[in-house]
């Protein structure tokens, strides 16, 4: 008689455990997997937004115009272009003028806000 109750208890427990495992636990595990993926995606998006913000903030700090100065005195030579909108162009012309005038003048690039 006790073994019959025990057998019924084990059988009912097995059915409840299977139902609980198939319906509740798997649903929770699936939700956790999807939620984890969503957290990773949101983290990546937040990282990209912060990266864009920092990049734009640093771009706003760049000078609007670059000037080639001679000996740091602002001397202007005839026929020499001294105002540029990009640093690369100003540096290129500065190197070109340095090679052209050799020891006579020293050229450097400064940024103007």
Q: What is the residue extent of each domain of the chain? A: 1-61, 65-112
Q: How confident is the model at residue 48 (pLDDT cuts 50, 70, 90)?
A: very high
What is the reported pLDDT for 106? 84
Report the mean per-residue pLDDT for the chain.
85
What is the reported pLDDT for 47? 98
Instruction: Flag whether the pTM goes above 0.75.
Output: no
Token pair, residue 64, equals 């609007």
Could you give the CA distance from residue 42 to residue 33 in angstroms, rounded to a whole number? 14
Give the whole-number percent of the chain exceeding pLDDT 90: 18
Cα-Cα-Cα-Cα dihedral sign, residues 21, 23, 29, 32: negative
Condensed to tens digits (0 to 9), the pLDDT of residues 56-91 reads 988 878 888 888 788 755 566 777 888 888 889 999
Burial label, 16 (beta-carbon count in 10 A; 0-12, 13-18, 19+): exposed
3-state secondary structure of 9: helix
């Amino acid at each position: 008689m006790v073994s019959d109750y025990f057998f019924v208890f084990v059988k009912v427990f097995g059915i409840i455990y299977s139902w609980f495992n198939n319906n509740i636990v798997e649903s929770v595990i699936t939700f956790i997997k999807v939620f984890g993926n969503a957290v990773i995606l949101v983290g990546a998006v937040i990282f990209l937004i912060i990266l864009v913000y920092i990049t734009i903030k640093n771009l706003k700090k760049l000078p609007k115009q670059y000037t080639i100065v001679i000996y740091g005195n602002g001397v202007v030579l005839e026929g020499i272009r001294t105002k540029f909108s990009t640093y690369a162009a100003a540096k290129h012309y500065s190197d070109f003028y340095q090679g052209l005038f050799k020891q006579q003048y020293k050229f450097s690039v400064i940024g103007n806000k």
